[in-house]
């Protein structure tokens, strides 16, 4: 669970405080739950953001080298996470970022011109120098997604619960939209400790899930999205026109 110990000042005892998305432990108070979460309140390059008026730019393409894997799914209490084994990576501007895991938010965290999507998937990567890169995929209500259909029924419903599905394999590359154009900016983790310096790549083309698939996730977790944060003068770029 995502908890930290916190010492109350008036009554001298220590209690365990879990960050989450409720009023008492949600984004508005993350910075108060632990000194480690200070950037959630004071950071100026935070995520998510509203993706509006990006600057079209010729940008290095993303080169994917994702492998198929058996599924190890975990309910963290705040999301459903699929841990990816070593050996899969994306190369960006001559740097390899190794895929660690992917997880989901409902509704989306990033917005496009102020509009939320039904869900958002984050693929979290790390380079050899410990720089984080996250590929975001917006999800809208539409057709049944066959790549997710194979394991969606196994989503663990209890916080802390894990499911290892030995008879299903997935290459997450098959989940991504065929058009690989992106919005790009530098931001932060969207959950505590809200660390900055994260490279963000949000696919400009959403993928689809059926209403039933979206409802199945929301029956376990919903409203696990941080509100959009100010851009504060950062560049928001896109290679959509160059690739399209």
Over residues 157-214, the pLDDT tens digits come to 999 999 999 889 999 999 999 999 999 999 999 999 999 999 999 999 999 999 999 9
Average pLDDT over residues 211-233: 98
Show the domain range for 84.
43-243
Residue for token pair 């997450």: 172
pTM of the model: 0.93
Question: Over the Cα atoms of the chain, what is R_g?
Answer: 18
Residue for token pair 């975990």: 74
Taking Cα atoms as reference points, which of 201, 183, 57 lies closest to residue 121?
201
The DSSP output letter for 115 is: B
Q: Is residue 103 domain-resident?
A: yes
Taking Cα atoms as reference points, which of 38, 35, 43, 47 lies closest to residue 5?
35
Q: Is residue 126 domain-resident?
A: yes
Q: Is residue 159 domain-resident?
A: yes
Q: Binning pLDDT at 50, 70 and 90, where does residue 1 land?
A: low
The tally of domains found in the chain comes to 1
Please check the confidence at residue 25 and state whether its pLDDT lies above 80.
yes
Specify the pLDDT at position 2.
66
Q: Is residue 36 domain-resident?
A: no
Q: Is residue 24 domain-resident?
A: no
Q: Is residue 37 domain-resident?
A: no
165: exposed, middle or buried (Cβ count in 10 Å: 0-12, 13-18, 19+): middle
Question: CA angle, 198 as apex, 196 and 201 as ends, to 5°?
Answer: 145
Residues whose CB falls within 8 Å of the CB of residue 88, separated by 6 or more in sequence, listed in order: 65, 66, 67, 69, 98, 99, 172
- The token pair that represents 84 in the structure block: 């990816």
Exposed e or buried b per residue across 11-24, where buried means at least 16 C-beta atoms within 10 angstroms of its C-beta: eeeeeebebbbeee
What CATH code is carried by the domain that includes residue 145? 3.10.200.10
Q: Is residue 138 domain-resident?
A: yes
Q: Is residue 32 domain-resident?
A: no
């Amino acid at each position: 669970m995502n908890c930290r110990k916190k010492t109350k000042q008036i009554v001298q005892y220590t209690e365990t405080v879990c960050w989450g998305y409720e009023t008492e432990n949600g984004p508005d108070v993350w910075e108060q739950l632990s000194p480690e979460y200070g950037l959630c309140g004071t950071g100026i390059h935070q995520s998510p953001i509203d993706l509006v008026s990006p600057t079209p730019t010729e940008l290095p393409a993303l080169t994917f080298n994702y492998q198929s894997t058996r599924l190890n799914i975990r309910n963290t209490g705040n999301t459903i996470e699929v841990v990816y084994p070593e050996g899969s990576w994306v190369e960006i501007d001559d740097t390899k970022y190794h895929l660690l895991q992917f997880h989901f938010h409902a509704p989306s965290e990033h917005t496009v011109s102020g509009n939320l999507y039904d869900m958002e998937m984050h693929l979290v990567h790390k380079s050899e120098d410990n720089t984080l890169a996250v590929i975001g995929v917006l999800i809208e209500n539409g057709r049944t997604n066959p790549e997710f259909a194979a394991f969606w029924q196994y989503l663990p419903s209890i916080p802390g619960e894990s499911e290892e599905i030995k008879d299903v394999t997935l290459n997450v590359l098959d989940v991504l939209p065929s058009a690989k154009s992106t919005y790009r900016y530098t931001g932060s983790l969207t959950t505590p400790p809200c660390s900055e310096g994260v490279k963000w790549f949000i696919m400009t083309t959403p993928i689809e899930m059926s209403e039933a698939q979206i409802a199945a996730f929301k029956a376990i977790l919903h409203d696990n999205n941080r509100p959009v944060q100010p851009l504060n003068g950062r560049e928001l770029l896109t290679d959509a026109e160059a690739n399209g």
